[in-house]
Copies of this chain bind each other. A is one copy, B any other.
């Protein structure tokens, strides 16, 4: 273990996920010489911060650790000399997510959190805040790593690299970990007995898999998914793939590829669910309320089981593992969002991708994937253009760029549909979109 004691800062520390994060650190106490953890939140999250912060303190105490847990609304004080900064913030809270999902569906379009109109607005709200944090970090802790798992994680990473000019950023997602765990289980082997190679974009990542003898299991695993039809995560519908199409890829898609490969079915199901149950955000809202009810219990000293139903399994654990790997120069292979640097030769070298990478003390080093098979290349490229336009619009507040971003997205049926949804969402999220307010005032009010 690298003995240097570390300071960790979690922005959005009042999140319901925080107990998982704390648990992840506790599990790794032997490898992670933590001195202090700062949980930071904003005024609106003050109460939740207090609740979850006290739970965190009880968890650490029960584990017999001497880590100092600080709860604060003062971000700059927290960031001073930090070693690792994690972000799990949600600008506009779950209310904003409800709008992200509802408004697109009301316009006959999928509104999911990453790749559609919903994710676009989540990026519009989040990127200015993250870039502010990055400015603070450059001043207060310029050697710290920013570990981001705020969605859309890939888009946020791209923004930090391109517009924040800050390379010490790593995005994380739980989808690859989910896939690795479930594929190993399906094959009846140990997760570490398989070698995986992931490449693509966040929530649009493909992978290949080999066994210990170096034999390529990719098509075997894909066929197994087709036979069992059990691939999926809590928040993605488990609609069956079209076999000859996915088998033609030569790669295993991720759960979120259903939005593209099964567009019609996913939309129909989304509309149907919405009619019956409202948005997923509203479900989450209820779960969260219940979780905080549990967290309030002064006798609770560990992460409650119910949190696992929340949907973000492996997320916090991935963050803890990443920090441990960075701190100890572990050179393990993890799937992260980072700068391409040639790993995928079909995309610009300076854009953000999601990729298998060796985690060293000096950061992640992506494994080269080479050129994508044509069967997957075009979708990868069009979605990267979408991502880049979203980032540019988020930073500049340019209406035309925002409209272009949505029009570029294959899930959107042209510029008119894009414009309807864009306008409705700009108005709905007005308070959290300072970069667009002048435009909205002039044209949409």
Contacts and interface: CB of A to CB of B under 8 A. Distances in A.
Contacts of A119: none
Given A366-B367, A378-B382, A212 B415 contact: no
Q: How large is the interface on A (under 10, 10 to 19, 20 to 34, 35 or more residues)?
A: 35 or more
A218 to B, nearest CB: 11
A244 interface: yes
Contacts of A358: 333, 358, 367
A195 B244 contact: no
A404 B375 contact: yes
Contacts of A247: 400
- Which one of A333, A363, A378 has the greatest number of beta carbons of chain B within 10 Å? A378
A365 B2 contact: no
A180 B381 CA distance: 30
A374 B360 contact: no
Contacts of A384: 378
Contact of A377 (B216, B248, B379, B385): B385
Contacts of A349: 345, 370-371
Interface in A235-293: 241-242, 244-249, 260-267
Nearest to A360: B195
Given A195-B361, A385-B381, A415-B261, A213 B374 contact: no
A211 B361 contact: yes
Contacts of A37: none
A321 B28 CA distance: 30
A216 B264 contact: no
Interface stretch (A68-76, A121-129, A308-316, A386-394): A386-394
Interface of A: 2, 4, 195, 197, 210-216, 241-242, 244-249, 260-267, 326, 328-329, 331-333, 340-345, 349, 358, 360-363, 365-371, 374-375, 377-379, 381-386, 388-389, 392, 398-401, 403-404, 407-408, 410, 413-419
Given A349-B371, A379-B382, 13 more contacts: A2-B213, A242-B418, A245-B400, A246-B415, A261-B415, A263-B417, A341-B370, A367-B367, A374-B385, A375-B385, A379-B408, A381-B385, A382-B382
